[in-house]
């Protein structure tokens, strides 16, 4: 296995862990602020959009460069 393949796998795992950690932070914020069901949904939607935009940007850049996933 080449170094580039290991780096690619490590990057994908790192991004998945980062996304899970962000969702944990949003959940913890909702829990500590006693936001309720609707407030929790709003928090996940509003703060989750930032993470979604980051992931979509990565996909769009990859597609524009003509690479494959």
State which residues of the chain have pLDDT below 50.
none
Residue 13 lies in a domain: yes
pTM more than 0.95: no
pLDDT for residue 41: 93
Residue 25 lies in a domain: yes
pLDDT for residue 68: 60
Domain region containing 23:
3-64
Cα 59 to Cα 69: distance, rounded to the nearest angstrom: 8
| Ramachandran angles phi, psi of 57, nearest 5° | -60, -40
Cα 35 to Cα 28: distance, rounded to the nearest angstrom: 10
Do residues 43 and 35 lie in contact, with contact meaning Cβ atoms separated by under 8 Å? Answer: yes
- Tally the domains of the chain: 1
Residue 69 lies in a domain: no
Residue 15 CA, distance from chain mean position:
7
What are the pLDDT digits (tens) for 36-51? 999 999 999 998 888 8
Residue 24 lies in a domain: yes
- In angstroms, the Cα distances linking 68 to 14, 40, 60 are 19, 36, 11
pLDDT for residue 62: 81
């Amino acid at each position: 296995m080449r170094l580039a393949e290991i780096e690619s796998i490590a990057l994908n795992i790192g991004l998945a862990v980062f996304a899970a950690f962000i969702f944990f932070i949003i959940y913890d914020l909702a829990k500590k602020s006693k936001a309720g069901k609707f407030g929790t949904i709003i928090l996940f939607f509003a703060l989750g959009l930032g993470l979604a935009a980051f992931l979509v940007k990565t996909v769009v850049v990859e597609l524009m460069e003509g690479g494959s996933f």
